[in-house]
Homo-oligomer: A and B are copies of this chain.
């Protein structure tokens, strides 16, 4: 008869009221202590830890027991002696006196400690032994949260009448799909599938097909040079619906995100979320994803300082630049050294100088104040709302560079001066994006979101006269300075879609080869539709309060897109390549 290792309790379950109960427990040896002729074992599973006491009879069997061995025991629950109670442990009131012990698996000494999670461990080693890294509490907990989040989102959307519909992973590569992962076909040698960068066209096809409300928690792929928080495969919460307006979708999405965060973090979220136009966001914060946990808005002062004699500002203004300022409340305590550090900080962003003034004892002081007539100083104080002991930084440069630098500076100052409440969640809709932006690199207009985004109705006439001023129906959801989701009303009209393609410089021939099936679909009766997508990984990072995307994915790749545990990508056999009629160039 083999040892019956089925547990009567999980290792977080036993309490004082269970005294004298006979139990079977199974799990991993977390720690072992020998004391007074007895062996004490902390037994661990993902739910908790329970203390075992082995009496001398079992010492022979237990003598080799070490951390990470898997064991199963039978025993009786005992109340711990006064003074031995561990209030930090859910099961800290009791211990289990073991009557039978069975070793299920032995374990080598792990390459890093499992029970002392705080010990800093090289990330490469953690990724190579990911199954052990997960076994440590933190990643386990993150994966549980990720499951809970997916579960909540699926049930929420189901209850709103959305259907989860699966789209293909083996799709079509488009000629410009520089970031497509390709998949050679064995049946059609020399031909390729591509992994999807998003299910965008499929979800729109579902609307054309009359499915009404679609969602999917979808795997997406992008073969790009990886930044710190990207992975070659990532997960999108993808939503699309027909016959509704933006307000309806935005309200459903707000409610979903509210439910998610209220379930996962101890917060109360107020609806509706704030809304801000793209222009206002750029003007006030220099970015389309402002962090509103702190204010410190930017102030444009071009019109004021053009009356000064400060040549740096005047030169910038003469070159179609702007001058913008940011005020640090109580910032007159900043040392010359600190100011120099901020100057070199914006220097790395391509900004040549950081002008500053302090407001002390009722007047502005700095090395450049002399170039500013008193009336200009007065206007400045009023416009920027400068008060006693404040400091004002000013940047004069080309508009987008100025905004970018001040956005970074604003966030850096907030962080340096502890202005950010880490528990706070500041949600924001950013709307009224421009439909197009000019790409210097490609020498043509490109889509700010994607080419299926509808212009807003009232700007339609501008497509013919001034396309770069057309606003899109796109909306981004921003949380604490991160874009967590984005969407738009889609174009459901064939002529408009063709016109947009033309404005993007996509020839009719190219339209046909890349999007023929989709344009076809629009010609057979497409309903008005709109949708949104969220990056699940980013959401989980915020929920789990981690800076690394790898902490919220079970088996992540490195920043260089390798899997250190599987040891891949890797070479493949000559026979496999032959079947695909491929050869590798040296």
Contact = CB atoms under 8 A, between A and B. Distances in A.
B182 A165 contact: no
Nearest to A26: B243
A36 interface: no
Contacts of A106: 525
Contact of A185 (B140, B177, B520, B561): B561
Interface string A163-177: 111111111110101
Given A105-B525, A202-B555, A206-B554, A2 B457 contact: yes
Nearest to A180: B576
A286 interface: no
A208 B164 contact: no
A237 to B, nearest CB: 13
Interface residues of A, number: 128
A126 to B, nearest CB: 12
A170 B243 contact: no
A521 interface: yes
Contacts of A45: 210, 212
A248 B4 CA distance: 13
A69 B167 CA distance: 26
B570 A208 contact: no
A205 interface: yes
A107 B172 contact: no
A468 B130 CA distance: 36
Interface stretch (A143-151, A320-328, A469-477): A143-151
Interface of A: 2, 4-7, 26, 28, 44-47, 68-70, 72, 104-108, 110, 128-132, 134-135, 140, 143-144, 146-147, 150-151, 154-155, 158, 163-173, 175, 177-178, 180-195, 202, 205-206, 208-212, 219, 221, 223, 225, 232-233, 235, 243-245, 248, 457, 492-493, 516-517, 520-528, 553-555, 557, 560-563, 565-573, 575-576, 579-586
